[in-house]
């Protein structure tokens, strides 16, 4: 059951990240962030992994999320996108940060309430997001 939760958490993290990367102008993205839009990268990350790799892959996705948020902070126009705000919320709920505000690691599954991934009602491209996912 734990492996299913880890895989689900990884898939949700990737979906949140991918939507935010899609919404950003491609000219601003680093090569690392551009690869997220490649279907091969998604397949390798999500579906071709051993059960014990899901935690390290989640850490990789969270690192990409931090990179995207740092990029957004440099460009005010994309910082206000609802998908970027969603990434920030996701990081706040799923990651631990050190005293300098740097990502240290993903939270373990145990302290995370299962309804935390049920994202609050946010405006998203003129629509509202309702219950993106529940773990």
| Domain map (residue ranges) of the chain | 2-128
Query: How confident is the model at residue 131, as a pLDDT?
Result: 42
Query: How confident is the model at residue 47, as a pLDDT?
Result: 81
Query: How confident is the model at residue 72, as a pLDDT?
Result: 93
Cα distances (Å, whole numbers) of residue 63 to 9, 33, 103: 15, 11, 7
What is the Cα–Cα distance from 47 to 23, expressed in whole angstroms? 24
Q: How far is CA 29 from the centre of its chain?
A: 16
Query: How confident is the model at residue 107, as a pLDDT?
Result: 65
DSSP state of 124: E
Cβ–Cβ < 8 Å for 37, 22: yes
Q: What is the pLDDT along the chain (135 residues), one digit of tens a residue?
A: 457 777 788 888 999 999 999 999 999 999 999 999 998 998 888 887 666 666 788 888 999 999 999 999 999 889 989 999 999 988 888 877 776 666 666 666 555 544 444 444 444 454 444 444 444
Query: How confident is the model at residue 116, as a pLDDT?
Result: 45
Query: How confident is the model at residue 91, as a pLDDT?
Result: 87
Query: How confident is the model at residue 18, as a pLDDT?
Result: 95
47: Cβ–Cβ under 8 A, 6 or more apart, which residues? Answer: none
Report the 10 Å Cβ neighbour count for 117.
20
Cβ–Cβ < 8 Å for 128, 122: yes
Identify the three-state secondary structure at position 103: strand
46: Cβ–Cβ under 8 A, 6 or more apart, which residues? Answer: 7, 10, 11, 14
Identify the three-state secondary structure at position 8: helix
pTM: 0.74
Query: How confident is the model at residue 51, as a pLDDT?
Result: 60
Q: How far is CA 117 from the centre of its chain?
A: 11
Query: How confident is the model at residue 121, as a pLDDT?
Result: 41
Query: How confident is the model at residue 105, as a pLDDT?
Result: 63
């Amino acid at each position: 059951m734990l492996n299913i939760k880890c895989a689900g958490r990884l898939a949700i993290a990737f979906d949140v990240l991918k939507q935010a990367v899609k919404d950003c102008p491609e000219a601003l993205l680093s090569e690392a962030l551009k690869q997220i839009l490649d279907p091969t990268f998604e397949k390798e990350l999500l579906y071709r992994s051993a059960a014990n790799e899901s935690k390290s892959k989640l850490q990789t996705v969270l690192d990409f999320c931090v990179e995207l948020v740092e990029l957004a902070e440099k460009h005010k126009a994309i910082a206000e996108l609802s998908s970027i705000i969603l990434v920030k919320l996701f990081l706040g709920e799923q990651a631990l940060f050190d005293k300098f505000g740097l990502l240290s690691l993903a939270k373990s599954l145990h302290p995370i309430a299962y309804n935390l991934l049920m994202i609050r009602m946010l405006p998203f491209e003129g629509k509202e997001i309702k219950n993106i996912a529940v773990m």
